[in-house]
């Protein structure tokens, strides 16, 4: 099975550098909408058989152009939402960014007991994300290509721990811009392997925003 983990388009919170993880969350900026509109052309050669988005609004908006082009409904999937920032929610300072990212990448490195301030620990995050991906895999009968529109930190942390051919340092070092894609092959039982990590927006650098203070997608290396 081929699993395409797609980060949502740009949001106002990304531009402001906010740790913006609460439900229902914001929509997309004008650039974010253009990034979403670029997805169908970028994925035209992918035989996508199912399309999922998280419970946060930004992923659902991002998935709409792809849904329209493919003629597939967007299934709202619980468990693939962004890693909750807890007491750091909406903060924009670099120290809060550092605390958030150092906590989540500690999970990728196996320190699941470490807890976000007033938020989840690694056990809780991986339990919900694993369950969601297991549901996706079961519904696809373990075959074909499935697209999942999710979130920057969640994708990087989950893939960095669950893909057998990369590690925490790889996931922390590699950026994931809005509409960047992490593609894996395998399954929950056989294990996952990274096929490619497309760090840039699917429409190329013309759809990037180098001025955004976006903590979820930046390299920590």
**pLDDT at 221 exceeding the cut of 70:** no
* pLDDT digit string, tens, across residues 166-217: 988 999 999 999 999 999 999 999 999 999 999 888 876 667 776 676 777 6
Asked if 82 is an active-site residue, the reply is: yes
Active-site option among 37, 82, 84, 89: 82
Whether the Cβ atoms of residue 79 and residue 132 lie closer than 8 Å to each other: yes
Q: How far apart are the C-alpha atoms of 186 and 201, rounded to whole Å?
A: 24
Q: How far apart are the C-alpha atoms of 116 and 62, rounded to whole Å?
A: 27
- Each domain of the chain, given as residue ranges in start order, spans 2-207
* pLDDT digit string, tens, across residues 28-40: 999 999 999 999 9
Q: How far apart are the C-alpha atoms of 60 and 101, rounded to whole Å?
A: 25
Query: What kind of fold does domain 2-207 have according to CATH?
Result: Rossmann fold (3.40.50)
* pLDDT digit string, tens, across residues 123-163: 999 999 999 999 999 999 878 999 999 999 999 999 999 99
CA 5 from chain centre, in angstroms, equals: 6
């Amino acid at each position: 099975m081929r699993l395409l983990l797609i980060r949502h388009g740009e949001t106002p919170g990304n531009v402001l550098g906010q740790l913006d993880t609460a439900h229902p969350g914001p929509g997309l900026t004008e650039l974010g909408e253009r990034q979403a509109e670029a997805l169908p052309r970028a994925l035209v050669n992918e035989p996508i058989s199912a399309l999922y988005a998280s419970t946060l609004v930004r992923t659902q908006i991002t998935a709409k152009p792809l849904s329209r082009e493919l003629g597939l409904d967007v299934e709202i999937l619980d468990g693939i939402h962004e890693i909750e920032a807890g007491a750091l929610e909406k903060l924009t300072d670099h120290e809060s960014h550092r605390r958030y990212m150092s906590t989540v990448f500690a999970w990728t490195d196996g320190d699941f007991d470490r807890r976000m301030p007033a938020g989840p620990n690694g056990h809780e995050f991986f339990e919900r994300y694993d369950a969601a991906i297991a549901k996706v895999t079961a519904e696809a009968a373990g075959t074909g290509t499935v697209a999942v529109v999710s979130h920057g930190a969640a994708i990087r942390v989950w893939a960095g721990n669950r893909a057998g051919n990369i590690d925490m340092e790889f996931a922390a070092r590699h950026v994931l811009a809005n509409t960047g894609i992490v593609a894996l092959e395998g399954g929950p039982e056989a294990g996952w392997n990274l096929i490619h990590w497309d760090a840039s927006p699917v429409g190329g650098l013309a759809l990037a925003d180098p001025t955004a203070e976006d903590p979820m997608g930046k390299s920590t290396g």
